Structure 1
Amino acid sequence: MSGETSAATGDGTDEGVIPGFWAVVPAGGAGTRLWPVSRATSPKFLHDLTGSGRTLIQATVDRLRPLAGDQVVVVTGEAHAAAVREQLPGLPSDHLLAEPSPRDSMAAIAWAAAVLEARDPDAVLGSFAADHVVTGSEAFRAAVTEAVDVARQGFLVTIGIEPTFPSTGFGYIQTGRGLPGFRTACRVRQFVEKPDARRAASYLATGEFRWNAGMFVVRATTLLDLLARWHPALADGARLLARAPERHDEIWPTLEKIAIDHALAEPAADEGLVAVVPGTFGWDDIGDFRSLAGLLPGDEDGVIVVGDEEQVQAVDSSGLVVSESGRLVALVGVEGIVVVETDDALLVTTAERAQDVKRVVEALKAAGRTELV
């Protein structure tokens, strides 16, 4: 990998780039709750779901360039590598790591960490998912900058999002005492799985919990050394991949399939090795069509449209329409509806049942209708 950084400001300087910082963008998952727009062959990070004119992965890289310059690495599946290259034409070819098959987040991030460690043992990486939406660039920059400083002290650092409601769809981070010498960083007491509504409300009442957005900042060597304590074969395999890329197809299938939270963050937190920097910026993982509607401008009492607004006619109706086929969509007297139509599929549900869209994908898979998922 090239160690050169481009002009983060576009004026021939690298002002604002954090020295030694690399942004790693895992781009995986099928986004089954956003079917039929998001599919295995064209996952949500390849789509412009916010009407910004940039796909989610393009917006993610746009957000990270001012912090990392050209030091951005994307890890994605081989099936999506060509589309990622097309959408990110400025990404150096050796900054795209293509997975032969899904092995969950730990393998992807460990592979990137091993590649960076081989180049620079002092490199600090930040892992940021390709399909999240972030608002508030200055607050984001401040959080990442502090997280890098904390990571240089040997911590695995996560950026915790201030919860705005008692969500049952996110994991939580319980914060502990502050870290001396840092503005906002605290130790992490524990990571908590997605709670039920009662526990989520109790978490917010304490003021000690933050949403786990899956953002991790850590020295590449620290990540791999910590991983070696609990999953030595996975750490060894990742480092071997970096040393012997020609053996990639042989080594990759042997790597353990596990998420970074379970493999690393949770056991490290139990030993006091994890810190959290509070993120005060806006954040959403666009987990379903209800959350997508909440991100888009529009009248809550009317219909929000993603696509050609002229092809949607609504009478006394409210909800979300995602229109891709060019057909006319007419709504009459329906409230809180979600209509998503593509060339080969039509979804009709409600905002309240948006989380259950994944059950359609599961049923299609069970029926062998893989061409639709």
Structure 2
Amino acid sequence: MLIPVILSGGAGTRLWPVSREGHPKPFMKLADGESLLGKTYRRAAALHDKNGGKPKTILTVTHRDYYFMSRDELDQRDLNGEFLLEPFSRNTAAAIALAARYAIALHEPEAVLLILPADHLILDQAAFAQAVVQAGRLAQQGYMVTFGIKPNAPETGFGYIECGQLLGGEGAGYDVARFVEKPDLETAKGYVDSGRYLWNSGMFAFQAATFLQELSRHAPEVSLSVEQCWNHLASSAKDASFIEIPADIFAHVPDISVDYAVFEKSERVAVVPGDFGWSDIGSWNAVRDLLSPDENNNRSCGDVVLIDSSNTYVQSDGRLVAALGLDNVMVIDTPDALLVAHQDKAQDVKKVVAQIKKTNHEAYRLHRTVVRPWGSYTVLEEGPHHKIKRIEVKPGASLSLQLHHHRSEHWVVVSGMAKITCDGRETLIQANESSYIHAGQQHRLENPGILPCTMIEVQCGEYLGEDDIVRFDDKYGRSTGAL
């Protein structure tokens, strides 16, 4: 049995301002309109086990705040999925160990787990599928397998794997001689010239039981804390499509990567070489390289005009961006934040995020358009005592029954139909009709129709923060004060 395990976490700060804490890198839309997470789900669903069967489920390990967005990505592709929801990150060792416990408890100990980060891009699905078959064979022999990427350049941003003894037939895989940290340029050139080294992709395959045995041997503190955590969850795990991990117990799990905890210590590690168009979308330079250049080596995405410019990347989300006389510059424009940087500084974008986070600027966390389980809202305008939003509610969805202490709300339906509950009274309003909610009134907004409902909300009050909310009932399980 093959179980793809998708690790979907991390804020992707080097891809700000598109990737933000509330809408991180896996949900970024690429030029083709599909997100990285969506591509990962599609890629995982297309695989086959040794008997030719497709995966019956896909297990996602992610932050609980990203559950509904991740669920939407699965539903859009008509795929079955299960979720382990973390209250905060404890790195990859904990995430993978819990996935292994889950697989044994709900599926089978011999299941081969295929660990896939949600922020990778793979262009050659057939070659990748073949590599997965090879890795699965080695996993059934008791190996923990990592996927090594054949380097095409002396890259200093990746870790490397030195190949040891050949295992089985040509191309089947190699024993791992050692893992190497990110090298300097001269060392990387030597690695590439030798032909013995591969890039460490961060993708793995192994049987769940094998991994837990090696974890217990090489990282007993991680193994014990994860076991204790799972024992607390086991009773609620049966027949559950998602499991929330309690914060008080998860806090005791060590924060360590699976590479340091297990793979760099174990003697049961193999590597399968891969040449399937792999890319770690870790910076704007990586995003840029997905597009074809023009005659001046410029690349662009969106409504862009480039004049007398070269070696420049411009991405626009909505409005026209014109670049004149630029060289080796990247421009990333979003509705509420603009990044302009030299392309050599692509890795330093995270410093910008760190700086604005210190000042608690909302742009490190949220976009103007914020996704919610019921749909989304977009802040159109904001002043000292007013805020204007566009709200879109999915068919059949509803906001929580709630009240606000400090603001009133005026709703005008633009398209579709809205069902308004206010202090127990229900009203249906359609396009060009409106409803007014006083501060302190219990209210709920629902979309009873089969089409999306779009409305304009005008808030007025002394305080307009998103935390001015008291929830009385919520179909999505959100608590009072949660956004």
Q: Same fold (TM over 0.5)?
A: yes
For 1:41-80, what aligned pairs fall within 5 Å after superposition? 41-49=22-30, 51-67=31-47, 68-80=54-66
Match of 2:95 among 96, 108, 115: 108
Q: Judging changes above 3 Å, is the alpha-carbon distance between structure 1 residues 183 and 165 closer, same or farther for their aligned structure 2 residues?
A: closer
The separation in 1 between residues aligned to 2:173 and 2:21, in whole angstroms, is 37
- State the AA in 2 paired with 1:173: I
The separation in 2 between residues aligned to 1:267 and 1:302, in whole angstroms, is 44
Deviation track 1:165-224 (CA, whole Å, cap 9, x = no partner) reads 111100000000101357431000111111111111111111111000101101001111
The separation in 2 between residues aligned to 1:372 and 1:21, in whole angstroms, is 37
The separation in 1 between residues aligned to 2:25 and 2:359, in whole angstroms, is 23
Q: Is the 8 A contact 2:305 2:321 kept in 1?
A: yes
Structure 1 residue 302, shift from structure 2 partner: 4.7
- State the AA in 1 paired with 2:262: L
Q: Is residue 145 from structure 1 mapped to residue 140 from structure 2 by the alignment? A: no
Q: Judging changes above 3 Å, is the alpha-carbon distance between structure 1 residues 106 and 300 closer, same or farther for their aligned structure 2 residues?
A: farther
In terms of fraction of residues, the more helix-rich structure is 1
Q: Is the 8 A contact 1:156 1:218 kept in 2?
A: yes
The separation in 2 between residues aligned to 1:282 and 1:363, in whole angstroms, is 35
Q: Is the 8 A contact 1:172 1:192 kept in 2?
A: yes
Structure 1 residue 300, shift from structure 2 partner: 5.9
Deviation track 1:41-92 (CA, whole Å, cap 9, x = no partner) reads 111110112x223210110111111214332111110111111111211454
Match of 1:304 among 286, 295, 299: 299
What is the SS of the residue equivalent to 1:229? helix
What is the SS of the residue equivalent to 1:88? helix
Q: Is the 8 A contact 2:115 2:205 kept in 1?
A: yes
Structure 2 counterpart of 1:355: 347
The separation in 2 between residues aligned to 1:339 and 1:221, in whole angstroms, is 48
Q: Which is further off, 361-370 or 161-170?
A: 361-370
The separation in 1 between residues aligned to 2:223 and 2:91, in whole angstroms, is 14
In terms of fraction of residues, the more strand-rich structure is 2
- State the AA in 2 paired with 1:65: A
For 1:233-272, what aligned pairs fall within 5 Å after superposition? 233-245=221-233, 248-249=245-246, 250-268=248-266, 272=267
Q: Is residue 171 from structure 1 mapped to residue 159 from structure 2 by the alignment? A: yes
What is the SS of the residue equivalent to 2:176? strand
Q: Is residue 84 from structure 1 mapped to residue 70 from structure 2 by the alignment? A: yes
- State the AA in 1 paired with 2:289: G
- State the AA in 2 paired with 1:72: I
For 1:175-214, what aligned pairs fall within 5 Å after superposition? 175-180=163-168, 183-214=171-202
Q: Is the 8 A contact 1:32 1:361 kept in 2?
A: yes
The separation in 2 between residues aligned to 1:162 and 1:181, in whole angstroms, is 18
What is the SS of the residue equivalent to 1:210? strand
Find the structure with the greater CA-based Rg: 2
Q: Judging changes above 3 Å, is the alpha-carbon distance between structure 1 residues 178 and 322 closer, same or farther for their aligned structure 2 residues?
A: same
- Which structure has more relative contact order (CA 8 Å, sep 6+)? It is 1
Q: Which is further off, 345-354 or 174-183?
A: 174-183
Q: Is the 8 A contact 2:304 2:315 kept in 1?
A: no
What is the SS of the residue equivalent to 2:128? helix
What is the SS of the residue equivalent to 2:110? coil
Q: Is residue 134 from structure 1 mapped to residue 122 from structure 2 by the alignment? A: yes
What is the SS of the residue equivalent to 2:299? strand
Q: Is residue 320 from structure 1 mapped to residue 313 from structure 2 by the alignment? A: yes
Match of 1:220 among 208, 213, 217: 208
Could you list the runs of 5+ residues in structure 2 that have no partner in the other structure? 48-53, 237-243, 366-483
Could you list the runs of 5+ residues in structure 1 that have no partner in the other structure? 1-19
What is the SS of the residue equivalent to 1:267? coil
Q: CA RMSD in A?
A: 1.7
What is the SS of the residue equivalent to 1:225? helix
What is the SS of the residue equivalent to 1:98? strand
Structure 1 residue 316, shift from structure 2 partner: 1.4
What is the SS of the residue equivalent to 2:153? coil
Deviation track 1:263-305 (CA, whole Å, cap 9, x = no partner) reads 111011xxx3110000011111111111211112332625322
- State the AA in 2 paired with 1:64: A
The separation in 2 between residues aligned to 1:23 and 1:278, in whole angstroms, is 19
The separation in 1 between residues aligned to 2:16 and 2:283, in whole angstroms, is 9
Structure 1 residue 107, shift from structure 2 partner: 0.9
- State the AA in 2 paired with 1:336: N
Paired residues in the alignment total 345
